[in-house]
Amino acid sequence: MSAPASPTPAPAPMVIASVTNGVGTISLNNVARRNALSAALLDAFIDALADFKAKSVRAVILRAAPGLKVWSAGHDIKELPRGHEDPLGYGDPLERALRAIRSYPGPVIAMIQGSVWGGAFDLVLSCDIIIGDETSEFAITPANLGLPYNTTGLLHCLNRLPLNLIKEMFFTATPVKADDAARWGILNHLVPSAQIEAYTQSLGEHITTKAPLAIAVVKEQLRVLSDLQPVAAQVFEHIEDMRRQVYESADYEEGINAFFEKRKPQFKGV
């Protein structure tokens, strides 16, 4: 008689959530995919954040699993819609995750070790405070794919960063290194890697000693005020029409195909 087959090991969780001294921590844990922001990972993140909210966790740290050189590779390119569909629509999992962070009633602190790419930069910018070490760097990369970034994401950048820095990041897709990230205000604090975990945890614990209702109201006030960007209907329609021309273009198809074929895209502006 043959031996019974060994049970298939359960896959590692996409995120790991824990609470220590009143501070919640969510670790992105899809190591094999460099924490690409797939729907499954983002849904797990949103669920973890909702669980913290239900438990009245007053401060949350968002981090990657320890030891990774890439904090997150950004939006999972395999899941970007093709066929003339908006790749960054309102219902996109990343957009839902950004709204979950921005509406969480306590501060969400991003702890960054390693590189942050593409849509993950928007995820980090949506956090309330950003702490990074000397290995942290940040790149926004739609120009590598021919992808038209959405207006909401651009407003997130405009509310946090100088216009000339935004333009350089979007036009070049070149990573901003840790020292420059601190100088430009992407980082609240640049902390040595040996100290960053203790520093971030201490900051979260300090916040939990303050009045939670006052903090929640101030966070919501700032969210509402920063989102208060009146745009005439015809202007918004013009922006969306320009974006549609890009995601229906041959360049967008070329950018996605080149990514999967591991070659340099040949953009022709059509």
- Check 106, 118, 119, 255 and give the catalytic one: 119
Number of domains in the chain: 1
Residue of 133, 249, 142, 242 whose CA lies nearest to 192: 133
Contact 84, 34 (CB under 8 A): no
User: What's the whole-model pTM score?
Assistant: 0.89
Instruction: Provide the CATH number for the domain around residue 40.
Output: 3.90.226.10
For residue 149, indicate whether it is catalytic. yes
pLDDT tens profile 41-88: 999 999 999 999 999 999 999 999 998 999 999 999 999 877 678 888
- Check 74, 75, 106, 247 and give the catalytic one: 75
- What is the extent of the structural domain holding 204? 15-214
Percentage above 70 pLDDT, the chain: 96
pLDDT tens profile 136-176: 999 999 999 999 998 889 999 999 999 999 999 999 999 99
Indicate whether 63 belongs to any domain.
yes
Indicate whether 103 belongs to any domain.
yes
Indicate whether 129 belongs to any domain.
yes
Indicate whether 125 belongs to any domain.
yes
For residue 75, indicate whether it is catalytic. yes
- Check 149, 153, 156, 255 and give the catalytic one: 149
Indicate whether 7 belongs to any domain.
no
For residue 104, indicate whether it is catalytic. no
Indicate whether 267 belongs to any domain.
no
- For residue 265, what is the enclosing H or E element? none
Indicate whether 253 belongs to any domain.
no
25: β partners: 18, 61
The more confidently predicted of residues 232 and 196 is 196
Indicate whether 240 belongs to any domain.
no
